[in-house]
Chain A
Amino acid sequence: MLQIKNLNVHYGVIQALKDVSLTINEGEIVTLIGANGAGKTTTLRTISGLNKATSGQIFFEGADITNMPATQRVKMHISQVPEGRRIFPEMSVLENLELGAYLRNDKAEIKKDIQNVYGLFPILGNRKKQLAGTLSGGEQQMLAMGRALMSRPKILLLDEPSMGLAPLLVREIFDIIKNINSTGTTVLLVEQNARMALSIAHRAYVIETGSIVMSGTGEELSKSDDIQKAYLGGGE
């Protein structure tokens, strides 16, 4: 469904991605794990069109989207929950969700989808009119996810959804990700919480200083010694 071939991305002279290649099949949860500054966010931003590729190609459902404007990619149902949530703090919960459906015109269906988001995250339903900036960190994460779902994504890109959340809430968020996936949405999950990510992912890639250094099924990587040492706190 999504295929990245030899992607290179630079920030000025700094090279953030080096020949990154990865494939995500329809219906999968694929996780991309790696340390701080490895290039995870850059990968997602480039898929969404917020960063430009220096070279390489990105294909989505067979179409080359490498140079497509960001809007167009949202139209193709590529949706992202960005790092740090980036909800619109001065707007209400409802307005945030409506913005998630910005490119849609099917009013009745949008209404239904808003109800579905409230079903998935009941707390948001109780806070419709509240300004998003006054929500707690966990609620903001839920809002960011709900907002991304409003575009009816075929693929959902999630950038560290567990960041800053209490363990219990992390569980809940991961259950919801599995749930979203089981209804047919493909998921690319970026995480530093490698243990949790590997436990729900069908396949995983490991990125180090801009290069993919390992890949395999979630299970394979959980057992790998290198992964144990570097990301799962094992081998001590």
Chain B
Amino acid sequence: MEQFLQQMVNGISLGSIYALIALGYTMVYGIIKLINFAHGDVYMIGAYIGFAATTFAKLGFFPALIIAMLASAALGILIEKVAYKPLRNSTKIAVLITAIGMSFLLEYVMMFFVGAEVRSYPKVLSDASFNLGNVVINMQQIYIVVTAIVLMIILQYIINKTKIGKAMRAVSADKDAAQLMGIQVDTTISFTFAIGSALAGAGGVLVGIYYNSIDPLMGMMPGLKAFVAAVFGGIGSIPGAMIGGLSIGIMETLVSGYGNSMYRDAFVFAILIVILIIKPAGILGKNTKEKV
């Protein structure tokens, strides 16, 4: 039982990070129906920006987090403008290949500039831990989970209550109808990339602090798993991405805790396959019916 609770605590920390990344996949998919494979690399670059901010500028956790989020947002907007916008009317496969190309480009450009070696964050958060019964909870885990929850609450607020959030939902639902309301589709798409990328950047910083190691290819596996999380929750669904991220994180730690950590990644992708077979739309995926 204690071991189970311990794994849950670890799983929730990891899962909140997956959820932050998964949100970007799902929001971008919702608005332009693209799986943005470069998204995991925005997360990686966010981690490096956080690294630079804490190591060279000697900033603390919150300033570094905010700088990484802003820079990632700018990067997201840039990627969309340069790589995807010119292909707005091209075939899906062309855009998908561009996204994969963009992913490699970011990885190897980073490798060129920062080198391939693994780097570690300075100690910006206390690594004190305390015991709850026999379950050990680390202060860093609390920071991760609280940060993720706060960001998701802000996101929910933006999407449901603000004008730009309503515009995002309108453009996701029907671009022509949105234009007839006076909504600027391009601006709204840029904004969506900005928010999704900012969340990924935050995830990057949290991982950098938690696992204390970053490298230019660190985005590949979490990127893929967050994508699985988004599909698991129902791609296009924001609550789905949150639930999906948490579920994948928890399942993954349970598998490595009880089984063998070697099977951890295989297990995640096995889940993807099972989901695609039994519930292709994901757990919160919508099969919208329209009235004629």
Q: Which residues of A contact B (CB under 8 A)?
A: 45, 48-50, 69-71, 74-75, 79-80, 82, 84, 86-91, 95, 98-100, 102-103, 133, 135-137, 140, 147-148, 151, 164
Identify A98's interface contact among B166, B179, B182, B290, CB under 8 A: B166
Verify A86–B177 contact, CB threshold 8 A. yes
Given A102-B163, A133-B290, the answer on whether A89 and B180 have CB atoms closer than 8 Å is no
Complex contact B169–A90 (CB within 8 A) = yes
Docked pose: A147 CA to B286 CA in angstroms: 25
| Structural contact, B180 and A82, CB atoms closer than 8 A | yes
Nearest chain A CB to B179's CB is how many angstroms away? Answer: 4
Structural contact, A99 and B176, CB atoms closer than 8 A: no
13 contacts between A and B (CB under 8 A): A48-B179, A48-B180, A49-B179, A50-B176, A50-B179, A70-B180, A84-B292, A88-B174, A91-B166, A91-B169, A99-B183, A100-B181, A102-B166
Contact A80–B292 (Cβ < 8 Å): no
Contact indicator per residue, chain B 173-194, by CB within 8 Å of chain A (1) or not (0) = 1101101111110000000000
Q: Residues of B within 8 Å of A, CB-based: how many?
A: 21
Residues of A within 8 A of B173 (CB): 88-91
Q: Does B65 contact A (CB under 8 A)?
A: no
Verify if B106 is at the interface (C-beta below 8 Å from A).
no
Which B residues form the contact surface with A (CB < 8 A)?
Answer: 163, 166-167, 169-170, 173-174, 176-177, 179-184, 286, 288-292
| Contact of B167 (CB < 8 Å), options: A86, A90, A102, A147 | A102
Query: A88, B170: Cβ atoms under 8 Å?
Result: yes
A138 to chain B: closest CB distance in Å?
10
A164 and B292 contact, Cβ closer than 8 Å, known pairs A88-B173, A99-B166:
yes
What distance in Å separates the Cβ of B85 from its nearest Cβ neighbour in chain A?
Answer: 15
Asked if A75 meets B182 with Cβ closer than 8 Å, knowing A88-B174, A89-B173, the reply is yes
Is the pair B177, A82 in contact by a Cβ cutoff of 8 Å?
yes
Asked if B182 contacts A136 (CB within 8 A), the reply is no
Question: Once the chains are docked, how many angstroms separate the CA of A86 from the CA of B286?
Answer: 18
Q: Whole-angstrom distance from the CB of B182 to the nearest CB of chain A? A: 4
Q: Are the CB atoms of A102 and B182 closer together than 8 Å? A: yes
Distance between Cα atoms of A226 and B193 in the complex (Å)? 55
Return chain B residues, CB-CB under 8 Å to A99.
Answer: 166, 170, 181, 183
B156 to chain A, nearest CB (A): 15
Contacts of B183 in A (CB 8 A): 71, 99, 102
B88, chain A: closest CB distance, angstroms? 14
Tell which of A89, A100, A102 touches B290, judged by Cβ atoms closer than 8 Å.
Answer: A89
A74 engages B288 (CB within 8 Å): no
Q: Which residues of A contact B290 (CB under 8 A)?
A: 89, 133
A103 to B170, CA, bound (A): 14
Report whether B181 and A137 are in contact in the complex, using a CB–CB cutoff of 8 Å. no
Distance between Cα atoms of A169 and B152 in the complex (Å): 44
- Measured between beta carbons, the chain B residues less than 8 angstroms from A137 are 291-292
State whether B166 touches A86 (Cβ < 8 A). Answer: no
Complexed CA–CA distance, A89 and B182 (Å)? 18
With the chains together, A133 CA to B291 CA distance in Å? 7
Determine the distance from Cα of A88 to Cα of B179 in the docked complex, in whole angstroms.
12
A48, A88, A148: the one contacting B169 at CB < 8 Å is A88
Complex: A50 Cα to B166 Cα, angstroms: 20
CB B106 to nearest CB in A, in angstroms, measures: 32
Residues in chain A near residue B176, CB distance under 8 A: 45, 50, 82, 86
Measured CB to CB, the closest approach of chain A to B248, in angstroms, equals 25
Most interface-central of B166, B177, B184 (chain A CB within 10 A): B177
Q: Could you tell me the distance between the alpha carbons of A98 and B162 in the complex, rounded to whole angstroms?
A: 11
Closest chain B residue, CB of each to CB of A100: B181
- A127 to B184, alpha carbons, bound, how many Å? 28
Query: Which chain A positions have C-beta within 8 A of B177?
Result: 82, 86-88
Shortest distance in angstroms between B183's beta carbon and chain A's nearest beta carbon?
6
The CA of A71 and the CA of B182, in the complex, are separated in Å by 4
Complex contact A95–B166 (CB within 8 A): yes
Interface centre among B167, B174, B180, B292 (most CB of A within 10 A): B180
Q: CB distance B169 to A50 under 8 Å?
A: no
